[in-house]
Structures are given as C-alpha cells and as structure tokens.
C-alpha cells in the first residue's frame, strides 16, 4: 500500500532560467548599481574609471538601492531596465 | 439527522458481490451494525424477523462495518437479510454515524421516516407497527419479554481515532487542497523527504492527510485562508500549508495558532524575514511567547528554557523555519547565505517566566493585556552569550556585569544601530530587584554603564571597527568631540528584556540582533487569535 503525504511546498515547479547570451562588444549605457553596502562605492568608482579609460564611448549611469537588506524597489528596477543595456551590481564590505 | 430529511444515496456490495443501490424505489430499512457490538447482536434477530415478514414490500439492508465481522455475523445468525459491506466506512461516514446500531426507515425515494440508535424495545415495537401500517401486513408475533427495555449502542467504527480523520481527508467535503504525493510501497518515506530537500537536515514527521487534518483543527481559521506571502518566492502560505509544515516539525494541533501568528509576524515589512534569512551575518527569528497560552501548550520558560527537551519550544521554532524553507523557498546556499549561521536556525522558541518576575511581562510592557497571548519575534544573529556572574550582590554590580557583556556584542566599539535580547535569569533578577528597582530603572542603568567617550570608540591600529576620524572632516575631532559620551544603544527600547530560566544559577543570556530600524529588522509582537 502506498503512503500519501501532502506537498509542503508552494507547488511551483522551478523554471530553469537561461542566462541572456553575452554580446561581443559593450556599447550604449552601462548601469552601475550600488546596493548601499559599505565600500560598494569604492568598487564602482574604480570600475567607472576603468570604463572611461578603456571604453570612452560607453555612457555610465549610477544607481543606488535604498538598502542592501531588501530587494531593489520595483521603480528602480524598471528605470534601470529602460535606461541601460548592461548593469553591474556591486557587492562589497 | 432529523426525520423527513433526504438520506445520502449510496451503492454497496453484499458479501457475495451483489450490488445494491439506495434508494431503489422501495420502502427501505437501513440498519448499520458492527460485529463486536453486543447491542447490534441483540438487534439482529429482530431485523431478521422484519426481513421475513415484510421483504415482499420493504427492502431491508444490513450494513456491516468490517469484513471479517460481517462474515461472522452471517454465520452466527444464519442471516437471510442482505449484509452490505461498508468495510471502507465511506457510507457510515457519509451518514455521520456516531453509534451502532443506527436504524433508518425511509420512503421509496430515500426520505427518512423514522430513525433511532442503540436498542430501545419501544423503538422496535413502534417501527414494526409502522411497517405494518405502511404495508398492510400484520405485526408478527415476537417474544418481547426476552428483550431488555433498552441497551446503549457502541461507537461506530467511522468515528474511531485515526479512522475518522482518514475518512474526512478522503471525503468530498475535505478541507485539504494541497497536492498529494504518493510514496511507493518500496520507498522509504523519510529518505524520500530528505531526497526532495524538504527537511532541515533532521528527520520530519511525514505529513499524511490524517495528521494534517488533525493539525488544521487546532486553529479556528479556514484551511484555505492565506496567512502571509512567504519570501523569497512570495508564495502564499495557507493555513493548510502551514499545518503541513507544522506536522513535519512535530507540532501538536494546539500549537498551530502560535505557529500561524509567528508566520504572520515574520512576514511583516517591519520584521523583514527576507533580509534576516539572506544576510551573510546569519539571522533567524527567536520566537518569544507571553500570556496564558504558555501553560496551555506547556511552553518551557524555566529550567533549560533555551535548550532541548520540550516539544512546544522545539517544534514551534522549527515549524516556522520549515515554512520559510518549504513554502518560501529559502534554502541554504540559495537565498539563505549565512557565512556560518548558527544552531538557532533549526529552532529557537521559548516563553517568558512571567510569574517569577515582579516586573510587568514583555507583552504588557508593549501595550498588550496580561490576559492576552502574544508572539514576539526578534531577529537573532548570535548568542546566547552567557553573563557568568556568581559574585555580585548589589543591583549596581550585577547591572555592571550584564552591561559589560552587552557592550561586547557584537563588538565593544559598535554603537547605536542594533537591538539586543536579554534573557534575565531569576537569581540575577532577584539581586537587581531587591531594593525595588523597576525594569526601566535597570535599563537606564545599563545605558549609563555602557556610555563611553568617543575617544575609546575610534577605529585604530588594534581594530578597524569603530568610529572613523574621516567622519570629522579634515580637521578631525576636537577635544570636546573626543570626550562626548556615546551610548551603546540608541535607546532603552532597543533592549528587549524577558525573564526565563530556573531558580538556581546565576547565568543570564544575551542574544545579538541584526541591523534594526526600517533598513533592517524590527521586533514584532502579535496577539495570538486562535
């Protein structure tokens, strides 16, 4: 006799997400997202400097999450996706 | 079930495999019996007489509740009456039987004309008279002197413990909606649950429909009521889903209202369980219970309150962790990303020992009535750290010792942005209160004892933690800045004090919080509503 149990999960089968294919060249707008962790700005400042040196045609825009402890607000995510072709999110400490 | 109600239709087989439908267009007598019931045995000869007398007009259906017993009844009484097999008890459950024998007389379309339970001589005399009236067949001669006036019936098998829940879970009116998982005969249910990633690393109680149904009945809420959306998946947690995880954790049904309230509190924006779970610092809710429910569910607030050995403490804390893991999808290595974490991530729940303290309990301090039962959630990232002080004899001394340990958490130079949970043991409490100090007196003294001049709190070559000179601009801090006294806690309201532990022993415990305020986790208290 089989035993029956009830599913303790949310019953949503996880969908495997594929990474977006990586382009050959970087162009247009690159967003740098500071998640508000200490010293995240140090890393992003350095990255911005390197972009300026190596890819002067690329426009850099800076964004900041209100707090690293919570997901980025919906408005901020929409703004980044509308304005940028690329985004780099900095984790630091 | 009152008379003149339409009885549920059914289809059953007799012991030879013949099919019987009810209703079938004839006046019918339904007699629910079980073999090991003396009152059913007493009634069977009367049912046989009715069958022999009225069977040309009335369909007499005996309905037996267990297979082997049915065979035995046929042999013992040489029954001419059809004995239908309700071994699965579906019909008995559908008829909401408490007692056997239960007798129904119905008209041709299944409306109840008469019913009784157990044995009553007058009931049978009335029934036979009524059958005679309906059919025009004379009342048969019966030796009524050999029958007692009355005899109570026995419990129907359909209400026996364990069976009743199974029948309800399988019935069309079942409140259960969760997906059922069949564990194959040769599979080990415990290994299956481990393999599916549904446990916290320790075995769980398999959440069978019967167990979940019993658990759901521990709360007055509807099984499909959504209690909260559980991060990170923001999946809706129904009472049923929480009950499934509470079964797995080992909870009793009485604990369910506490677990539900804790889940509600955990999923508020103020508590911010997503951040608490995800932080590399390693956070988890400490569940603190106040009010009368502590006694009802036997929460431990005394000896070993923070440790193992008490079911309510162990399983309530574990249940909310399983809710997070299984419903919310917060799994270690997924969004749970603690560098080290702590054993508290398995479970951490205890009660305040309110009766041992002259001070108002935690929930009363925070605006609840003494008679209300309340769950408080505190985001713990470390501890318990012990304050070991067996020597202090004055309130000032013991307060000083506790302040010194509190000051070291999470770092002696850390200031301001944190809550702390202080679990004060009775012996230390007695020393603090012996000259009448109030709780606020004590908290104020902690604040005073942990004041430090900024000079002592600067980051330096010994440790990078502390105030940075850069905060004071190019000029740096002046002498006045350096002498300024900085409190350990933003205010005494950041110190969350409860009393717990045994009468013997001078060991107070301190739990470290996470970042507090709107950007971190704030302590949340909720009334338990049943």
The pLDDT value given to residue A48 = 95
> In whole angstroms, what is the distance from residue B461 CA to residue B41 CA?
93
**Would residue B461 count as lying in a domain?**
no
Nearest-neighbour CA in chain B from A5: distance (Å) = 4
List Cβ neighbours of B502 (8 Å cut-off, separation of 6 or more): B302, B303, B304, B425, B426
The pLDDT value given to residue A23 = 83
One domain, residues B250 and B134? no
- Reported as a pLDDT band with limits 50, 70 and 90, residue A19 is low
Nearest-neighbour CA in chain A from B521: distance (Å) = 9
One domain, residues B419 and B282? yes
Token readout for B493 is 């309201």
Question: What is the chain B residue with the closest CA to A70?
Answer: B275
Q: How many distinct structural domains can be found in chain B?
A: 2
One domain, residues B156 and B205? no
One domain, residues B347 and B385? yes
The pLDDT value given to residue B298 = 97
**Would residue B182 count as lying in a domain?**
no
Question: pTM, whole model, 2 decimals?
Answer: 0.77
The pLDDT value given to residue B166 = 85
> In whole angstroms, what is the distance from residue B499 CA to residue B305 CA?
10
pLDDT at A52 over 80: yes
One domain, residues B246 and B111? no
One domain, residues B136 and B233? no
Pick from B109, B142, B160: which residue ends a domain? Answer: B160
**Positive/negative CA dihedral, B116, B120, B126, B129:** positive
One domain, residues B308 and B372? yes
Burial class (CB in 10 A: 0-12, 13-18, 19+), B330: buried
CATH, residue B75: 3.40.30.10
The pLDDT value given to residue B4 = 62
Contact assessment for residue B7 and residue B106, using Cβ atoms and an 8 Å cutoff? yes
Interchain CB distance below 8 Å, A6 and B212: yes
Whether chain A has a CB inside 8 Å of the CB on B519: the answer is yes
Q: Which of residues 271-310 of B touch A (CB under 8 A)?
A: 272, 274-275, 278-279
B84-114 residues labelled b (16+ CB within 10 A) or e (exposed): bbbbebebbbbbebebbbbbbbbeeebebbb
One domain, residues B202 and B76? no
Question: What is the chain B residue with the closest CA to A36?
Answer: B519
> In whole angstroms, what is the distance from residue A34 CA to residue A64 CA?
5
> In whole angstroms, what is the distance from residue B148 CA to residue B38 CA?
13
Q: Which residues of A touch B274 (CB under 8 A)?
A: 70-71
> For A15-29, A75-89, B89-103, which range has the lowest pLDDT when averaged over its residues?
A15-29
Please state whether B137 falls in left (phi above 0), alpha (psi between -120 and 50) or beta: beta
pLDDT by residue for chain B (530 residues), tens only, comes to 444 689 999 999 999 899 999 999 999 999 999 999 999 999 999 999 999 999 999 999 999 999 999 999 999 999 988 899 999 999 999 999 999 999 999 999 999 999 999 999 999 999 999 999 999 999 999 999 999 999 999 999 999 887 888 888 888 788 999 988 888 777 889 998 998 889 999 999 999 999 999 999 999 999 999 999 999 988 999 999 999 999 999 999 999 999 999 999 999 999 999 999 999 999 999 999 999 999 999 999 999 999 999 999 999 999 999 999 999 999 999 989 999 999 999 999 999 999 999 999 999 999 999 999 999 999 999 999 999 999 999 999 999 999 999 999 999 999 988 999 999 999 999 999 999 999 999 999 999 999 999 999 999 999 999 998 888 888 888 899 999 999 999 999 999 999 999 999 999 999 999 999 988 999 999 999 97
The pLDDT value given to residue B68 = 94
One domain, residues B138 and B223? no
One domain, residues B127 and B200? no
ipTM of the complex: 0.79
List Cβ neighbours of B209 (8 Å cut-off, separation of 6 or more): A4, A6, B165, B166, B169, B170, B174, B176, B180
Q: Which residue range is the domain that position B444 belongs to?
A: 189-451+487-527
């Amino acid at each position: 006799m089989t035993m029956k149990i009830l599913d303790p999960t949310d019953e949503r089968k996880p969908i495997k997400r594929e990474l977006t294919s990586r382009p050959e060249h970087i162009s247009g707008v690159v967003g740098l997202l500071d998640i508000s962790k200490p010293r995240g700005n140090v890393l992003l400042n350095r990255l911005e400097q390197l972009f300026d040196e190596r890819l002067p045609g690329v426009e850099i825009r800076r964004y900041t999450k209100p707090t690293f402890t919570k997901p980025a607000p919906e408005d901020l995510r929409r703004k980044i996706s509308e304005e940028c072709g690329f985004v780099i999110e900095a984790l630091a400490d | 079930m009152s008379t003149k109600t339409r009885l549920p239709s059914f289809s059953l087989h007799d012991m030879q495999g013949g099919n019987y439908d009810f209703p079938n267009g004839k006046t019918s007598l339904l007699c629910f019996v079980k073999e090991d019931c003396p009152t059913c045995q007493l009634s069977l000869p009367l049912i046989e007489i009715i069958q022999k007398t009225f069977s040309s007009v009335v369909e007499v259906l005996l309905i037996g509740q267990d297979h082997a017993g049915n065979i035995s009844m046929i042999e013992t009484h040489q029954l001419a009456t059809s004995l239908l097999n309700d071994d699965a008890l579906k019909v008995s459950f559908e008829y909401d039987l408490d007692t056997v024998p239960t007798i129904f007389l119905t008209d041709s379309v299944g409306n109840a004309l008469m019913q009784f339970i157990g044995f009553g001589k007058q009931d049978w005399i009335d029934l036979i008279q009524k059958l005679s009236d309906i059919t025009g067949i004379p009342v048969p001669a019966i030796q009524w002197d050999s029958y007692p006036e009355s005899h109570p019936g026995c419990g129907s098998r359909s209400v026996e413990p364990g069976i009743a829940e199974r029948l309800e879970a399988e019935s069309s009116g079942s409140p259960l909606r969760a997906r059922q998982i069949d564990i194959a005969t040769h599979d080990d249910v415990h290994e299956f649950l481990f393999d599916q990633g549904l446990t916290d690393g320790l075995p769980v109680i398999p959440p069978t429909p019967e167990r979940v149904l019993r658990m759901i009945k521990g709360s007055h809420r509807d099984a499909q009521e959504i209690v909260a959306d559980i991060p990170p998946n923001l999946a809706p947690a129904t009472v049923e889903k929480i009950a499934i995880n509470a079964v797995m954790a080992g909870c009793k049904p009485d604990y369910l209202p506490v677990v539900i309230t804790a889940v509600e509190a955990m999923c508020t924006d103020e508590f911010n369980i997503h951040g608490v779970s995800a932080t590399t610092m390693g956070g988890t809710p400490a569940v603190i219970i106040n009010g009368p429910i502590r006694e009802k569910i036997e929460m431990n607030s005394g000896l070993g309150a923070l440790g193992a050995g008490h079911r309510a403490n162990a399983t309530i804390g574990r249940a909310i962790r399983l809710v997070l893991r299984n419903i919310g999808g917060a799994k270690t290595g997924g969004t749970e990303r603690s560098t080290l974490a702590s054993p508290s991530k398995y479970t951490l729940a205890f009660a305040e020992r309110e009766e041992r303290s002259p001070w108002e309990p935690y929930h009363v301090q925070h605006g609840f009535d003494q008679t209300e039962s309340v769950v408080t959630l505190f985001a713990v990232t470390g501890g318990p750290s012990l304050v070991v002080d067996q020597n202090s004899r004055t309130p000032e001394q013991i307060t000083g010792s506790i302040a010194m340990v509190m000051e070291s958490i999470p770092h002696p130079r850390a200031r301001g942005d944190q809550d702390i949970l202080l679990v004060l043991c009775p012996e230390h409490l007695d020393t603090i209160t012996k000259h009448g100090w109030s709780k606020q007196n004590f908290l104020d003294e902690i604040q005073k004892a942990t004041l430090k001049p900024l000079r002592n709190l600067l980051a330096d070559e010994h440790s990078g933690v502390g105030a940075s000179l850069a905060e004071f601009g190019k000029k740096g801090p002046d002498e006045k800045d350096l002498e300024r006294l900085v409190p350990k806690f933003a205010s005494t309201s950041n110190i969350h004090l409860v009393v717990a532990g045994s009468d013997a022993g001078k060991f107070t415990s301190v739990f470290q919080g996470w970042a507090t305020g709107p950007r971190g986790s704030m302590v949340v208290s909720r009334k338990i509503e049943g």
